[in-house]
Copies of this chain bind each other. A is one copy, B any other.
Amino acid sequence: MTQNLQIHLASRPSGEPGAANFRLVEATVPELGEGQVLVRHHFLSLDPYMRGRMNDAKSYAQPQPLDQVMGGGTVGEVVASNHPGFAAGDKVVGMGGWQQYSVVDARQPGVLRKVDTTQVPLSAYLGAVGMPGVTAWYGLVKIIGPKAGQTVVVSAASGAVGSAVGQLAKARGARAVGIAGGADKCAYVVDELGFDACIDYKSHRDLKSLSQALKEACPNGIDGHFENVGGVILDAVMLRSNAFCRVAMCGMISGYNGEPIPMAAPQLILVNRMTVEGFIVSEHMEVWPQALAELGQGVATGKLKYRETIAQGLESAPEAFIGLLKGRNFGKQLVKLI
Contact = CB atoms under 8 A, between A and B. Distances in A.
Given A262-B265, A265-B262, A271 B234 contact: no
Given A230-B267, A234-B266, A278 B283 contact: no
A250 interface: yes
Interface residues of A, number: 32
A193 interface: no
A58 B221 CA distance: 14
A231 to B, nearest CB: 9
Contacts of A255: 267
Nearest to A262: B262
Q: Chain A interface secondary structure, helix, strand, loop or mixed?
A: loop
B273 A252 contact: no
Nearest to A276: B276
A299 interface: no
A271 B230 contact: no
B267 A272 contact: no
Given A60-B243, A243-B60, A272 B278 contact: yes
Interface string A296-308: 0000000000000
Contacts of A275: 275-278
Interface in A247-297: 249-252, 255, 260-267, 269-280, 283
B266 A261 contact: yes
B276 A280 contact: no
A40 to B, nearest CB: 34
A232 to B, nearest CB: 12
A260 B250 CA distance: 26
A2 interface: no
Nearest to A231: B266
Interface string A88-120: 000000000000000000000000000000000
Nearest to A271: B59
A250 B270 contact: yes
Contact of A252 (B230, B262, B263, B266): B266
Given A252-B267, A261-B266, A273 B60 contact: yes
Contact of A273 (B230, B269, B283): B283
A262 B273 contact: no
A242 to B, nearest CB: 11
Contacts of A278: 269-275
Interface of A: 58-60, 230, 234, 243, 249-252, 255, 260-267, 269-280, 283
